[in-house]
Amino acid sequence: MTRAPLPQESSQIAALTRSFLARFFDNEMTGGSSDLQHAFFWLLAALATPGLVMPTVAGNGWNIMALAPGPEGGLDFLRMQASANLTFSIGVTMVGIGLMAAVSWQSLLLERRDVQVLGTFPVRYRTVLIAKLCSLVLFFLILVAATAPLSAVCYGLFLGTAFSVPFGFRVAGLHVLVSTLAALASYLAVIGFQGLVLSVAGPRLFTRVAPLLQLLVVAMLGLLFLSLPAASTATLGRLYAIGPTSPDWVLWMPTTWFYGIYAKGMGVTLPIMDVLIGRAMTTTVALLAIVLVTYPLSYRRLIVDALIGVAAPARRSLPGRGVAAIPALLSASPVAQATLQFTMTTIGRVGVHRLVMSMAVGAAMAIIVPLAAANLGPAGVSPAASVLAIPIVLMTAVLIGLRITYAMPAELGAAWLFRAAAGQEWAEHRIAARRLMLVAGVLLPIAITVPVFGSDWGVGTALLHSLVCAALGALITEGLLIDFDGVPCSAPFEPGRAQLESRWPWYLAGMNIAMLGIPINEAELLITGRPLGLLVIAGVFAVNTAIVRRWSEYRRPEPVTQESPGPASFRVLLR
Q: What is the pLDDT of residues 424-472, one digit of tens each?
A: 566 788 888 899 999 999 999 888 877 777 777 778 888 888 999 999 9
For 508-549, how does the pLDDT look when each residue is reduced to its tens digit (9 = 90+)?
A: 888 888 888 899 988 888 888 888 888 999 999 999 999 998
For 79-93, how does the pLDDT look when each residue is reduced to its tens digit (9 = 90+)?
A: 787 888 888 889 888
For 334-351, how does the pLDDT look when each residue is reduced to its tens digit (9 = 90+)?
A: 888 888 888 888 887 777
Residue 570 pLDDT: 42
Q: Which amino acid is at 321?
A: R
3-state secondary structure 452-473: HHHHHHCHHHHHHHHHHHHHHH
Q: Which amino acid is at 433?
A: A
Give 189's contacts (C-beta < 8 A, 6+ positions apart): 98, 287
Residue 4 pLDDT: 47
Residue 545 pLDDT: 92
Q: Which position has the higher pLDDT, 390 or 119?
A: 390
Does 559 score more than 60 pLDDT? no
What is the distance between the alpha carbons of residues 282 and 275, in angstroms, rounded to a whole number?
Answer: 11
Residue 115 pLDDT: 74
| 276-285, Cβ contacts within 8 angstroms, sequence gap of 24 or more | 276/251, 280/181, 280/185, 280/254, 283/185, 283/254, 283/257, 284/181, 284/184, 284/185, 284/188
The torsion angles phi and psi of 544, rounded to 5 degrees, stand at -65, -35
Q: How many CB atoms lie within 10 A of CB 267?
A: 11
What is the distance between the alpha carbons of residues 444 and 430, in angstroms, rounded to a whole number?
Answer: 20
Average pLDDT over residues 491-505: 69
DSSP letter for each residue of 491-543: S---GGGG-HHHHHHHHHHHHHIIIIIHHHHHHHHHHTT-TTHHHHHHHHHHH
Classify 139 in phi/psi space as left (phi over 0), alpha (psi -120 to 50) or beta.
alpha
DSSP letter for each residue of 257-273: HHHHHHHHHTT---HHH
Closest CA to 14 of 111, 171, 134: 134
Average pLDDT over residues 201-230: 82
Using 50, 70 and 90 to split pLDDT, how confident is the model at 416?
Answer: low
State if pTM tops 0.85: no
Using 50, 70 and 90 to split pLDDT, how confident is the model at 362?
Answer: confident
Average pLDDT over residues 270-294: 92
Q: Which position has the higher pLDDT, 70 or 5?
A: 70
Does 553 score more than 80 pLDDT? no
Average pLDDT over residues 19-28: 74
The torsion angles phi and psi of 454, rounded to 5 degrees, stand at -65, -40
Delimit the domains of the chain by residue range: 50-307, 332-573
Range in 31-40, 137-146, 454-463 the model is least confident about: 31-40
Residue 139 pLDDT: 92
Tell me the average pLDDT of the chain: 80
Does 496 score more than 60 pLDDT? yes
Average pLDDT over residues 41-68: 77
Closest CA to 144 of 96, 212, 82, 202: 96
